Each structure stands twice: as C-alpha cells, then as structure tokens.
Amino acid sequence: MSEAPEQNPQPPPAAVTDAAKKQALARLRRALPRESLLTRPEQLKPYESDGLTALREMPWVVVLPETEDALRAVLEICREHGIPVVPRGAGTGLSGGARPSGDGVLLGLSKMNRILEVDLDNCAARVQPGVRNLAISEAVAEHGLYYAPDPSSQIACSIGGNVAENSGGVHCLKYGLTVNNVLGLKVLTLAGDELLIGGPGGDPESLDLLALFCGSEGLLGVVTEVWVRLLPVPPERRVLLAAFPTVEGAAGSVAAIIGRGLIPAGLEMMDTPAIQAAEAFVHAGYPANAGAILLCELDGVPAEVDADAEMVSRVFAEFGADEVQVATSTEEQARLWLGRKAAFPAVGRLAPDYYCMDGTIPRASLAEVLTRIGGLSERYGLAVANVFHAGDGNLHPLILYDANAPGELERAERFGADILALCVAAGGTVTGEHGVGVEKLDPMCGQFSAAELEQFARLKAAFDPDGLMNPGKAIPTLSRCSEIGGMHVHGGRLPFPNLERF
Amino acid sequence: MADLGEELLQAVATARDQGQPLSIAGTGSKSFLTRPETAVRDSRLLSTVEHTGVVDYRPDELVVTVRTGTLLRELAQTLAREGQMLGFEPPEFRGLGTVGGAVASGLAGPGRPARGSVRDAVLGVQMINGLGERLVFGGQVMKNVAGFDVSRLQAGAYGMLGLLLEVSLKVLPRPQAELTLRLEKSATDAHAEMRRWARLPHPISAAAWLEEGLWVRLSGAEAAVNQTAAALGGEHQTDNDFWSGLKDHGLPLFRRDGLCCRHLPPASAPSAEDELIEWLGARRWSTSAPGAVGYQPFAAGFARHRCRDGGGDGKIADYQARLKAAFDPDSLFNPELTDADVPA
C-alpha cells in the first residue's frame, strides 16, 4: 500500500509576533475586568510553574475569568491572534501540565469556583471547574453523601484539574478514578463551541466524549462545568496496619486479598526508607524496622467490615506479618493514615530535593521491580524511598537528590527515566495518575509507536485544529521521539530479559 | 482459539486500497439493534468470529485480555473458574454475544449502577484504525493516564473508529453471598424505594420493577446480605432466572412489538408508560410510548445522538464526525451506522 509522505498531523503553532501580542493584549484589556488580567512580572511569578517546580517559565499574561462569557472572549481573542492557551486549575499538578508558555495566555480557572447545583435526588452535583475537590464532599456531608476520588492534594486541587488529569487517590481501587465518578461536562472548545456532554441521566448516546475528556490534560478544550456523582458515606470504616519483614510478604498479601475476592477501599504499601522517614517526621507508631508495611482500609455496613477484617487479618498472618494494628476509632485511623499521607514531605526532609515518579506496574512484578529499582539506586548513587498504591499497582518511587550538587539533578532524571522504562517493560505505564504534561514526553516515546502518537495528534486536531490548546504537552512529536532515539518497547510484549539493558 | 490479527489487518489494508467499505460483525447477535431498514452502502462483511481466545488472564490483578471474537459465555466460564466475573453484566443474547460486541455496543446489564458501565471496565484495546494501522492503547493496569483515553472511547462506538482485535477488561470477584427478594409495589412506590436505596450504603447489586414487583439483588459478605434482606422484607427467590432474563432480554416483555428504552436522570418520576424500571430509575422500557423525543429503539452511532432530547446545540455531532474522521478518514468502517439519515 502506498503511503503519503510522513507528516506531522499537527505542526506546532507558529511563533507569536509582537504585533499579534500587542493587539491581543489591547482586546483582553477591553474584555476583562482589571483584576482578571495579570501582566506585571510580580503578578505572573506565582504562575511560573505548577506542582512540578523544576519546570518553570514565565507566562506572557495570566487571565482569571470569573464568568463563562469572559472565558469565551479570551478563547476567541487567542484563536484569532494565534496565541497558545494553557489552562490551569489549582496548580497542584505534578507533571508540568500547567507549565506556562512564554508566548501564551495562562488561563487560570480558580475564580470559577461555585457549586452551581446539588441534586440530592439524583445523587449528583454540578460545579464549576475551580471548585476544590474536598469542597464538594464538605458541601454535601450533611446529607450523608461525598465525592469519592481523593487525590492527596484534595484540600487544594480543583475538580477541573482532576478531570484534566483523570486523578485517582488512595480509594480509587474500590471507587474508581475521576472518569468513573464524573457524570457530565460542559466544555468550551477554542472555536467557541459549547459541548454539553452527558449529565445525571444514563449512559452516553454516542462516542463517549466524557471518557475522552477525562485525562486529556487541557489539550482538547476548557471544562466549564462538571457533573459529579455523589455516593453515600459508608457507615463503618476500619484501618489495618501490618508490618512485614520483607517486601515479598507484603506483596503476597496484596495479591492474596484481591485474589480471594475482596476489594478494600484502600491498600497502600511503604518500604523501609519511606517508613523510617515517615516515622521520624510524624511519629505515627509505624514499626521502624519493618521491611514493608501495608495499610488496608475497609468500609461498608458493619457486618461486611467485620467479615472483611477477619479475612484480611488471616491473610496477614499467613504471609508472615510481624505485627498487625487495627484502628476502629476515627482518631486511631487518622494516626495510621498520617504516616502515609505525610510520606512525601517526610521523605523531603531526608534530602534537599526529591523527584516523585508515577509508574504503574502489574502487581505481580512488584518485588522484582523494587529489587531493580534498588539496583539502579546503587548505580546512580542516589537513595530512593517507595510509596505504593499497592492495590492498583501505582508506584511512587521518590528519588532523593541535591539540586545544588553538580550533576545530581541530571542523574536523578536519568534514574527516573530508567524506572519508567522498567514499568513499561513490566507491562505497565509511564504515568498512573500524575499525567504526562511536559515531564513524561520522552518516556511516552517508549510506550507508544509512531502510528499511535500520530493517532493521538489527529484526535487532538479534531477538537483543536489550530493546535493552540496547551501545545507541546502530553503527546510528544515524532521528531522529538526520533531525536531521543525513541525506544518503543510495547506494553510488556518484549520478554523480560530486555530489562537488562538499563 | 486462534489469532487472526494478521489476516484482519490484511483484510483492512486490501479494503482500503479498493475503497471497499467494511461492516464489522461478530456473531450478529445484536444486529437487531442497528436499524436493519437502513440501506447498507455495498459494504463487505468483516467478521471477528474466529478471532478468539483469552490472551492473558491474571486473576490476582483483576484483569483479563481477550480476542474480540470470543463468546461472552466462554469468557464467563473462564472467569467463574477463578471466582470472578464481568461487573457490567453484558447481555449475551441467546448465548451468542461476543466480547468485541459487548465493548463496541457498550450495553450493560442489571449490575450497571452498582458495578459500573462497560467503559468503566475497559482498561486497554488493540485495534485497527481506518488507515489499516494496528494500534495499542491503554494497558492491563487500573491506573493509566498516558495519552488520550482511546480505549474507553471504543466502548459504545459500534466499531465506527476501527476494528477491535483485543480488549483488556477489569474483572470483579464474585460475591461471597447473593440473594434475590421480590417486593409487591406499584411503579411509583418501587421507584421511590429505589431512590431511597441509592442514598444508603446497602449491598444492593441490582434492582428492577416489572409487573408490580420490585426485584432486588443483594450481593456481598454473607452477614451483610442477610442483615439487609431481613431489613427489606419481601419474598426470597430461589433462582437467578429473573436477572438472567433481564440481562439477556429473555423476559417476555422483550419480545413485544415497539419496545423502546430510554435513559433518564434516575429520580425522574415514573410515567404511566413505564413497564420496566431498572438501574435504580436510570433506564426505563416501554411499548406504548407516545412518539416522545428520547424514546427510540437502540440505534447506534450518530443516530443515537440525534435522538436525544434537550441539551447541546447540535455541535456535538460535528465533533463526533471529526473524531470519526481522525480514526477512519475514508469512512471505511460500518457505513450503515454513519450514513443513516435519521430524522432528528
């Protein structure tokens, strides 16, 4: 079959001229109230990065629309003058998805932060994108309902950002990711088309745009409203902590619990360096000498939780747990979770900087992947602590380094890239929940073939033919992949010996 | 059990060279869903029925990867041997439904509100797009945000974006205990009861109202199931026939002429036409709906969108069409679904 000469389905947008910026700025000033348009360096500075602070760039301007009309005007101006648009929620993202473009508008949605409607009858709420994740649960708590996905940044992160990243959290093993808990969206495309997708009633009528927009990292359009699903708060919760002499015992327990038919609300693992760091930081009462600990949260009606707790305790004993703590009161549960929730800052005390990775692997490969990460740690001369959403295979190795020591940042980055390649070779993925953003563009070249990347690019172009929505994020160009010598090792299809090349 | 991936890839490439449209089909168990009256533009049948087999099954990981021609019935047996199942309970339609058809149609059964929809269970796909390229999206793990979620997009796409070769699905453990109750209720009372349950953390895995009976299925830990059963009352049913009849459309209601289904916000008040209310109120069936917009038989593709009442300014259909073109620029796949000129 003859093929057209290879071409990028969506070339990068042309450079923005000063004349275009000048005209656009004048129009933005007319379209927006003074407090919604930030242009001075000291105003722009707080927006120079998202939660991935290593990647910074000053935006050209920041706009903070309060209304859909203002938002629509901004998109129209950007489209007409060829100016890139970088949407941003609360800026807590960890992959640089909201890193500004020096030529572009940083579109902050934090002022669109109203809960528009709580529909108790349908167990749903309609909210604006800037509403904080936790604020939804707080608003409906009095009715015995809550919004299930709980990313660790839930105090600060916004629902719009959650949709863009398809955020998870410690309870997504049982309750699913953002995509499984959102019922509908209102989206504005760069062309100014308003798309009403789904809602509180039933399944989609045609192509499932709702699923497509979840995790699309702001490349397709701007989410202006979100319908979320609300669930009844479980009447009973219990948290069990088990300490194991080795990672293998903990990993075996995870497989056994799930293999025997129980899906806990949460199932988290920490290795020795992470345990010791957490214990030194918050004194949660973790056994500091353990090789690994598991935290298992069970919820449901009391009879169910009793039966499940008995089963889990049996598994822990079978797999050689040295110690099991059971927390029934809210206070004790909070104490057991404290160490896990403080793990990142705790590890942050061990070294001037740390680099948080986010690969997912099949759980069966856990012990092997951790052993190899240990080997890499020695080779690169950098310590690593592992925190793991064990139930769903999402691994967060935290690489410790000192950005002020010459060469350490580069070493940490190479170490991280090797970890992600390990994840792909084990049949996993380069990002479980933090997104690709800018950070994982190169590892994407290893996970996807040229044809798959081109398919992604054509998909983006279907919604954003001008290529101005968050350009340069999430999907690497083919030329980028060929520059880094794109090593495509697809979904574990290559046999394990290939791991040796790292 | 055979891997026909290469043959299917070749068939698509040849058809593309010849400008020959293709109609993707498994066993044809769902052909009654897709407007048989619509003239099909000279398309050639592309069958997946012999592309069968479980490629990879890891019970501990709660995931199975299957070739799309595999019968749902056979997959269910494989899963049952490990005490697992598909949570979305796809209709098997006389035992003929295939895994590919289940994903492509996006049809879910009674467990949908409690256990999620078809696309909620889709973790990855291997597919052939309209350019004749074999592509892999998603994977075998629960959490994966690398690239656009093209795999979930295939659920309910009726093959318009390409031919599915393999799908990876999330599976669930079978409940330890399960029992069914039937309570005598009017439609209004049954609906009110379902909505009350939706707000409570009961181990209810399905509920449906039919012929003055409110059927409820309880699933989970034995103690929890028994406790809830005692609280709800009603008469215990000894077999599972009602649920399989509902799932596979074997109940007499499904053989009646003019049967239509509609999806609604679940709390919408029942109407006099509702003959079957399921999904805690979110899906209703009727044989006597007065030509109301929104009441339509199952119909695929863009047609399905046009049947929708309210919402949107018609722009969605444009983007759906562009999305189709992004995957299948020459409209190679399933022209009968996209050519149909359906009145709005």
**CATH label of the domain that carries residue A185:** 3.30.465.10
Examine the fold and report which residue of A403, A434, A465 is the final residue of a domain before the chain moves on: A434
Query: E strand or H helix at A454, and its extent?
Result: helix A450-463
User: Distance, in angstroms, between A188 CA and closest chain B CA?
Assistant: 11
Strand partners, A226: A127, A185
Examine the fold and report which residue of A62, A80, A108 is the final residue of a domain before the chain moves on: A108
Query: Contacts of residue A263 in chain B, CB cutoff 8 Å?
Result: 62, 172-173
- Indicate whether A11 belongs to any domain: no
A392 vs B129: CB contact, 8 Å cut-off? no
- Give the pLDDT band (50/70/90) at residue B334: confident
- Spatial neighbors of A288 by CB under 8 A, at least 6 apart, are A275, A276, A279
Strand partners, B286: B260
Look at residue B40 in the predicted model and tell me its pLDDT. 58
The span from the CA of A96 to the CA of A91, in Å, is 9
Query: Contacts of residue B340 in chain A, CB cutoff 8 Å?
Result: none
- pLDDT (average), residues A364-393: 92
The span from the CA of B333 to the CA of B324, in Å, is 10
Examine the fold and report which residue of A62, A83, A108 is the final residue of a domain before the chain moves on: A108
Query: Contacts of residue A205 in chain B, CB cutoff 8 Å?
Result: 304-305, 307-308
The tokens of B31 are what? 């052909």
pLDDT per residue as tens digits for the range A451-492: 999 999 999 999 999 999 999 999 999 999 988 865 554 443
pLDDT per residue as tens digits for the range A31-76: 999 999 999 999 999 999 999 888 899 999 999 999 999 999 999 9
Say yes or no: A224 and A135 in one domain.
Answer: yes
Tracing tokens 């192509």 back to the chain, one arrives at A207
The tokens of B94 are what? 């006389």
**Side-chain half-sphere exposure of A337, counting CA atoms within 13 A:** 19
Q: Which of A172, A201, A458 lies closest to B143 in CB terms? A: A172
Count, residues in chain B: 344
The span from the CA of A303 to the CA of B137, in Å, is 41
Query: Contacts of residue B17 in chain A, CB cutoff 8 Å?
Result: 1
A202 vs B283: CB contact, 8 Å cut-off? yes
A262 contacts A387 by C-beta, under 8 angstroms: no
Q: Which of B152, B223, B307 lies closest to A303 in CB terms? A: B223
B119 vs A303: CB contact, 8 Å cut-off? no
A172 contacts B236 by C-beta, under 8 angstroms: no
B202 vs A301: CB contact, 8 Å cut-off? yes
Of the candidates B114, B324, B330, B116, the one whose C-alpha atom is nearest the C-alpha of residue B203 is B114
Q: Which of A200, A303, A458 lies closest to B265 in CB terms? A: A200
- Give the pLDDT band (50/70/90) at residue B34: low
**Three-class secondary structure assignment of B3-39:** CCHHHHHHHHHHHHHHCCCEEEECCCCCHHHCCCCCC
Average pLDDT, chain B: 87
- Indicate whether A195 belongs to any domain: yes
The span from the CA of B227 to the CA of B185, in Å, is 21
The span from the CA of B214 to the CA of B235, in Å, is 10
Q: For the sheet containing B122-128, what is the strand order?
A: B54-58, B63-67, B163-170, B122-128, B134-138
A206 vs B156: CB contact, 8 Å cut-off? yes
Q: Which position has the higher pLDDT, B156 or A312? A: A312
Say yes or no: A138 and A79 in one domain.
Answer: no
- Indicate whether A465 belongs to any domain: no
Of the candidates B331, B339, B250, B249, the one whose C-alpha atom is nearest the C-alpha of residue B298 is B249
Q: Which of B223, B312, B323 lies closest to A196 in CB terms? A: B312
- Indicate whether A446 belongs to any domain: no
Look at residue B305 in the predicted model and tell me its pLDDT. 34
CB distance from A195 to chain B under 8 Å? yes
The span from the CA of B343 to the CA of B335, in Å, is 17
- Indicate whether A448 belongs to any domain: no
The span from the CA of B89 to the CA of B83, in Å, is 15
Tracing tokens 């399989």 back to the chain, one arrives at B244
Say yes or no: A75 and A181 in one domain.
Answer: no
Q: Which of residues 301-340 of A touch B (CB under 8 A)?
A: 301, 303-304, 306-308
The span from the CA of B294 to the CA of B296, in Å, is 6
Of the candidates A369, A388, A358, the one whose C-alpha atom is nearest the C-alpha of residue A269 is A388
CB distance from A494 to chain B under 8 Å? no
CB distance from A489 to chain B under 8 Å? no
> Measured at the alpha carbon of residue A268, what is the angle toward residues A263 and A272, in degrees to the nearest 5?
150
A61 lies in which domain range?
18-108
CA A356 to each of CA A157, A170, A431, B99, B142: distance values in angstroms, whole numbers, following the listed order = 18, 16, 11, 38, 20
Query: Contacts of residue B141 in chain A, CB cutoff 8 Å?
Result: 360-362, 392-394, 427-429, 432
CB distance from A177 to chain B under 8 Å? yes
CB distance from A221 to chain B under 8 Å? no
Of the candidates A24, A167, A15, A210, the one whose C-alpha atom is nearest the C-alpha of residue A105 is A24
Q: Which of A177, A199, A451 lies closest to B133 in CB terms? A: A451
Q: Which of B220, B264, B319 lies closest to A462 in CB terms? A: B319
- Give the pLDDT band (50/70/90) at residue A85: very high
pLDDT per residue as tens digits for the range B170-203: 999 999 999 999 999 999 999 999 999 999 988 9
| In chain B, where the domains are located | 5-173, 177-286
A462 vs B221: CB contact, 8 Å cut-off? no
CA A407 to each of CA A56, A397, A402, A403, B285: distance values in angstroms, whole numbers, following the listed order = 19, 20, 9, 8, 66
The span from the CA of A200 to the CA of A196, in Å, is 12
State the architecture of B5-173 in CATH terms.
2-Layer Sandwich (3.30)
Say yes or no: A78 and A141 in one domain.
Answer: no
pLDDT per residue as tens digits for the range A192-234: 999 999 888 766 667 899 999 999 999 999 999 999 999 999 9
The tokens of A264 are what? 């806990």
3-state percent helix, strand, coil for chain B, nearest multiple of 5: 30, 25, 45
**Side-chain half-sphere exposure of B188, counting CA atoms within 13 A:** 2
Tracing tokens 């999402």 back to the chain, one arrives at A394
CB distance from A491 to chain B under 8 Å? yes
Q: Which amino acid is at A40?
A: R
Residue A445 clears pLDDT 70, i.e. is over it: yes
- pLDDT (average), residues B298-310: 36
Query: E strand or H helix at B138, and its extent?
Result: strand B134-138
Chains A, B: CB contacts within 8 A come to 278
A301 vs B326: CB contact, 8 Å cut-off? no
**Of A216-225, A256-265, A285-294, B306-315, minimum mean pLDDT range:** B306-315
B150 vs A455: CB contact, 8 Å cut-off? yes
For residues A14, A19, A21, A23, the Cα torsion angle rounded to the nearest 10 degrees is -130
Q: Which residues of B10-33 are buried (b: 16+ CB within 10 A; e: fewer)?
A: ebbeebbeeeebbbbbbbebbeeb
Say yes or no: A224 and A250 in one domain.
Answer: no
A462 vs B322: CB contact, 8 Å cut-off? yes
Q: Is the dihedral of CA A70, A71, A75, A81 positive or negative?
A: positive
Q: Which of A1, A119, A447 lies closest to B146 in CB terms? A: A447
- pLDDT (average), residues A340-362: 90
User: Distance, in angstroms, between A429 CA and closest chain B CA?
Assistant: 6
Q: Which of A208, A216, A301 lies closest to B156 in CB terms? A: A208
> Measured at the alpha carbon of residue B221, what is the angle toward residues B218 and B222, in degrees to the nearest 5?
80
- From B148, which residue of chain A is nearest by alpha-carbon distance? A216
pLDDT per residue as tens digits for the range B112-147: 999 999 999 999 999 999 999 999 999 998 889 999
The span from the CA of A418 to the CA of A309, in Å, is 38
- Give the pLDDT band (50/70/90) at residue B294: very low
pLDDT per residue as tens digits for the range A275-305: 999 999 999 999 989 999 999 999 999 999 9
- Indicate whether A124 belongs to any domain: yes
Q: Which position has the higher pLDDT, B312 or A81? A: A81
Say yes or no: A119 and A197 in one domain.
Answer: yes
> Measured at the alpha carbon of residue A240, what is the angle toward residues A234 and A241, in degrees to the nearest 5?
145
B223 vs A304: CB contact, 8 Å cut-off? yes
Q: Which of A307, A430, A458 lies closest to B146 in CB terms? A: A430
Of the candidates B111, B61, B66, B68, the one whose C-alpha atom is nearest the C-alpha of residue B88 is B111
**CATH label of the domain that carries residue A320:** 3.30.70.3450
A478 contacts A458 by C-beta, under 8 angstroms: no
- Residue A97: count of CB within 10 angstroms of its CB: 29
Residue B293 clears pLDDT 70, i.e. is over it: no
- Indicate whether A456 belongs to any domain: no
Q: For the sheet containing B213-220, what is the strand order?
A: B235-237, B177-184, B213-220, B204-210, B276-278, B283-286, B260-263
- pLDDT (average), residues B54-59: 95
Strand partners, B204: B218
B149 vs A215: CB contact, 8 Å cut-off? yes
A204 vs B200: CB contact, 8 Å cut-off? no
Residue B304 clears pLDDT 50, i.e. is over it: no
DSSP codes joined into one string, A381-438: T--EEEEEEGGGTEEEEEEEE-TTSTTHHHHHHHHHHHHHHHHHHTT-BS-SSS--TT
> Measured at the alpha carbon of residue A396, what is the angle toward residues B56 and A223, in degrees to the nearest 5?
85
Query: Contacts of residue A444 in chain B, CB cutoff 8 Å?
Result: 146-147
- Spatial neighbors of A98 by CB under 8 A, at least 6 apart, are A50, A86, A87, A88, A89, A91, A106, A161, A218, A437
Look at residue B37 in the predicted model and tell me its pLDDT. 44
Look at residue B315 in the predicted model and tell me its pLDDT. 85
CA A364 to each of CA A257, A431, A472, B60, B126: distance values in angstroms, whole numbers, following the listed order = 13, 18, 35, 8, 22
User: Distance, in angstroms, between B340 CA and closest chain A CA?
Assistant: 14
Say yes or no: A245 and A328 in one domain.
Answer: yes
A329 SS3 class: coil
DSSP codes joined into one string, A389-404: EGGGTEEEEEEEE-TT
Q: For the sheet containing A222-229, what is the strand order?
A: A115-119, A124-127, A222-229, A182-188, A194-198
A295 contacts A240 by C-beta, under 8 angstroms: yes
A211 vs B152: CB contact, 8 Å cut-off? yes
Look at residue B162 in the predicted model and tell me its pLDDT. 97
Of the candidates B318, B41, B319, B48, the one whose C-alpha atom is nearest the C-alpha of residue B162 is B48
Biggest CA-to-CA distance, chain B? 65
- Indicate whether A70 belongs to any domain: yes
pLDDT per residue as tens digits for the range B206-252: 999 999 999 999 999 999 999 999 999 999 998 889 999 999 989 99
pLDDT per residue as tens digits for the range B61-108: 999 999 999 999 999 999 999 999 999 999 999 999 999 999 998 999
A455 vs B227: CB contact, 8 Å cut-off? no
Burial zone of A340 (CB within 10 Å; 0-12 exposed, 13-18 middle, 19+ buried): buried
User: Distance, in angstroms, between A35 CA and closest chain B CA?
Assistant: 32
- Give the pLDDT band (50/70/90) at residue B319: very high
**Three-class secondary structure assignment of A252-307:** HHHHHHHHCCCCCCEEEEEEHHHHHHHHHHHCCCCCCCCCEEEEEEEEECHHHHHH
Phi/psi for B118 (5° steps) reads -60, -50
B282 vs A202: CB contact, 8 Å cut-off? yes
CA B243 to each of CA A17, B78, B213, B263: distance values in angstroms, whole numbers, following the listed order = 64, 21, 13, 19
Say yes or no: A228 and A240 in one domain.
Answer: no
Say yes or no: A323 and A429 in one domain.
Answer: no
Count, residues in chain A: 502
Say yes or no: A73 and A157 in one domain.
Answer: no
CB distance from A352 to chain B under 8 Å? no
Q: Which position has the higher pLDDT, A341 or A2? A: A341
Q: Is the backbone of residue A266 left (phi > 0), alpha (psi -120 to 50) or beta?
A: beta
Total number of domains in chain A:
4
